[in-house]
A and B are shown apart, each in its own frame.
Chain A
Amino acid sequence: MDDAAPLRDIASAPPAAWRRIDLFAIAVRFQSVIGLVLVAIGGVIFSPRRHGIILFLAPDNVANIVRAVSETGIIAVGMTFVIITAGIDLSVGALLSLSSVLTATIMTTAGWGLMPTVLFVVACGALFGAIQGGISTRFRLEPFIVTLAGLQVARGLALVISNNQYINISYGEGPGLAPPVFAILGDRLFNNVVPVATLVFVVVAAIATFVLNFTRFGRYVFAVGGNERAARLSGVPVTLVKVSVYAITGLVSAIAGIVHAGQFNFGSANDGTGYELTAIAAVVIGGTSLFGGAGSMVGTVAGAVMLGALANILQLNNINAALQLLATGAIIVLAAVLQSLVRRREGLGR
């Protein structure tokens, strides 16, 4: 997998130095994969055992881990595009909540059926994101500010639409009832082993990996983040790329919101709080630079799963939430420090 920043690779360095740096840089590029392996080893060592079975590795437990990270993972996948362009999107958690409310409301009142509902909600999410991207690029505003405002707007809309209530989804045929097939999002397939929510995560991540690494759009995303001026001069449609990445985060947030509604059988204006931070943490741990221009989709996925595995092993041992926060914080700092060391060794100074 080649996730390198194309423009930075041009930076000339003495060939002798390349070797040494490369080993370290490669290790850091896959830091979250290595981190995931380390957490998994820790999980095996510290796992409670029963009848000689290591509970951490039990299929049910692995299913729990990958199910628990599916919603924030889906969002983190979209967030990776935005962060590679040196942007940020704080509206994703609120947009998840708004999408869950929309899904629940439409299914239980409008009677549109499954596909129209899903398509509509996903389109709304993408539109919401595109509007944020458009405002940010048109008025040259920091995406931090625009998406902070977007967070408030999405949360406010969700509260208005839901009238501050949990919108319950009941299944069946007839008015006010959602199509029973929608409940599959809370189930597991293949002998009750693979959570459907995780399958959605896998599909979204696979498509995103392809788009980022093997399409012209993916190369544009890296180019815009690496050096926006150079990208513009070499004919990259910078504005369009930037608007598109926010449309992508909006779209994946909507998908996550639909998955949320399907898993919990309701839409709620209060859910998804703090998801943006979990997603950003997964992306950063995954080795994507907040300065833009470099990043890895595989790293993001590994980062998201790693956070879930870490929480799981602490929960299996009944260790309280405070330690989970401390551990997550320490890992984020470590990941960022490693990134910074690589940049310094590559002579990029930032």
Chain B
Amino acid sequence: MVFATVRTPSALALGVGAFALLAGAASAAPLVKECSKDGKFVIGFSQANNAEPYRQHVNDELTAAAAKVPQFTLQIADGAGNVNTQTSQMDNFITQKVDLILISPFEASPLTPVVARAVKAGIPVIELDRKTVGDPGKDYTAFIGGDNFKIAQEAGKYVANKLLPDGGEVAVLEGLPSSTPAVERLNGFKDGVKANDKIQVVAEQAADWLPDKAQTAFAAMLQAHPNIKAVYASNDMMAAGARLAAKGAGKKDGDIQILGTDGLPGPAGGIRAVAEGEWAATFTYPTGGPQAIDMAKAILLDCAESVPTTVTVPTTAITPDNAKSMMGK
């Protein structure tokens, strides 16, 4: 079972990696001047846009991880989906002389200069989920995030190997066509299902991440291709919409294998939908929150001289096997 290994918390792996590097590069200076086990540190997190449920989930995970470290105080600033707002909040962090900055930039190039200013001021900057322009380790300290292509590829392989070993017709609901994650998830899934050449992707439509558009689009797909056996939705909300379309076409839960992405917790999230048998699976888009706090510990408490510059947090496949146990987390 390939997904069993994926489920292991990668936070440990990152911690170990950081220490290994630490041991190997004993001659270099620590990343920050003032670091100690018993200091008090302020970490500023500049969030792209609190108004998206996924981003709220990131804030929650980050807050929970930071609360476990008594030396850390976490400040979250909401960029409200506006690069100007986010830039001024970053400048505020620099003026405040926070000890470390985490940022999910709303857009790459507009936020690149302010990240450079922070690094120049001697503040380590860890980028979460989205990158600014430049190289990690040089223009900013590190990048931690999921890999959209790989996540969707896992979903594709799951369809190819587990759900439809005998092949069949498959549909894809894409996110907002102009956004990078939408393109990466579409391509990743189509690459993943290539593992089984009896699988045919018969329809793909953009539904802009929205449940209502997904319902309309998938209803039309089912009309044109009544033999569709599985549908991959590039986020959980579109999967919810696809299920409504399937219901409307007289299908029962399980008749069509529905796959989501994001694996959000809570009553409206994908984990519950899998646990209750509404969908076949969903694939988490990891927040990187715990990993980011671990890296902050390495830098601020353990005086690390270097950290891994790119940390790809693997996805967790939420399937009927583990959905119930994941509900509580």
Could you tell me the distance in whole angstroms from the C-beta of A238 to the nearest C-beta in chain B? 37
Chain A residues contacting B244 (CB-CB under 8 Å) are 186, 263-264
What per-residue 1/0 map shows which CB atoms of A296-326 lie under 8 Å from chain B? 0000000000001001100111101110000
Interface hits, A134-174 → B, CB 8 Å = 159, 163-168, 170
- Which residues of chain B from 149 to 204 have a CB within 8 Å of any chain A CB? 177, 202-204
Q: How far is the CB of B249 from chain A (nearest CB, A)?
A: 7
B249 contacts A320, CB within 8 Å? Answer: no
Would you call A168 and B205 a contact (CB within 8 A)?
Answer: no
Contact bitstring A40-64, B, C-beta under 8 A = 1, else 0: 0000000010100001001011011
Number of interface residues of B (CB under 8 A): 38
B38 within 8 Å of A (CB atoms): no
Q: State A61–B216 Cα separation when bound (angstroms).
A: 10
Question: In the complex, what's the smallest C-beta–C-beta distance from A119 to chain B, in angstroms?
Answer: 25
Kindly specify which of B69-77, B127-135, B207-215 makes contact with the partner chain: B207-215
Binary flags per residue of B250-277, CB closer than 8 Å to A gives 1, else 0: 1000000000000000111100000000
Spot the interface stretch: A14-22, A265-273, A333-341: A265-273
Q: Is A188 an interface residue (CB 8 A)?
A: yes
Tally of A-B Cβ pairs under 8 angstroms = 101
- The answer to whether B215 touches A271, judged by C-beta atoms less than 8 angstroms apart, is no
| Chain B residues with CB below 8 A from A164, complex form | 50-53, 55-56
Task: Determine if A260 is an interface residue (Cβ-Cβ < 8 Å).
Answer: yes
Name the contact of B51 in the complex, choosing from A64, A71, A159, A320 (C-beta under 8 A): A159
Q: Does A124 belong to the interface (CB within 8 Å)?
A: no
Chain A, interface size category, equals 35 or more
- With A68-B216, A260-B212 as given contacts, are A315 and B50 in contact (CB-CB < 8 Å)? no
Give Cα distance in the complex from A322 to B177, angstroms: 9
**A192 near B: Cβ within 8 Å?**
yes
Shortest CB–CB separation between residue A311 and chain B, in angstroms? 7
Nearest-neighbour CB distance to chain A for B212, whole angstroms, equals: 7
A67 at the interface (CB under 8 A from B): yes
Nearest Cβ on chain B to A198's Cβ, whole angstroms: 12
Which one of B56, B202, B212, B249 has the highest number of Cβ atoms from chain A below 10 Å of its Cβ? B212
Residues in chain B near residue A192, CB distance under 8 A: 250
Min distance, Cβ B32 to any Cβ of chain A, angstroms: 32
Q: Contact flags (1/0) for B113-130 with A, using CB distance below 8 Å?
A: 000000000000000000
* Further pairs besides A68-B212, A316-B220, A321-B206: 12, Cβ < 8 Å: A164-B50, A164-B53, A164-B56, A166-B237, A186-B244, A260-B212, A271-B212, A312-B220, A315-B217, A316-B223, A320-B177, A321-B177
A-B contact pairs, 30 of them (CB 8 A): A61-B220, A64-B223, A64-B245, A64-B248, A67-B216, A159-B51, A163-B56, A164-B53, A165-B266, A165-B268, A166-B53, A166-B266, A168-B266, A168-B267, A264-B215, A264-B241, A266-B268, A270-B53, A271-B210, A308-B216, A312-B220, A315-B216, A315-B221, A317-B224, A318-B204, A318-B205, A318-B224, A320-B177, A320-B205, A322-B177
Q: Which 7 A-B pairs have the closest CB atoms?
A: A166-B268, A168-B267, A315-B220, A168-B268, A64-B219, A68-B216, A321-B206
Chain B interface residues toward A at CB < 8 A:
50-53, 55-56, 177, 202-206, 208, 210-212, 215-217, 219-221, 223-224, 226, 237, 240-241, 244-245, 247-250, 266-269
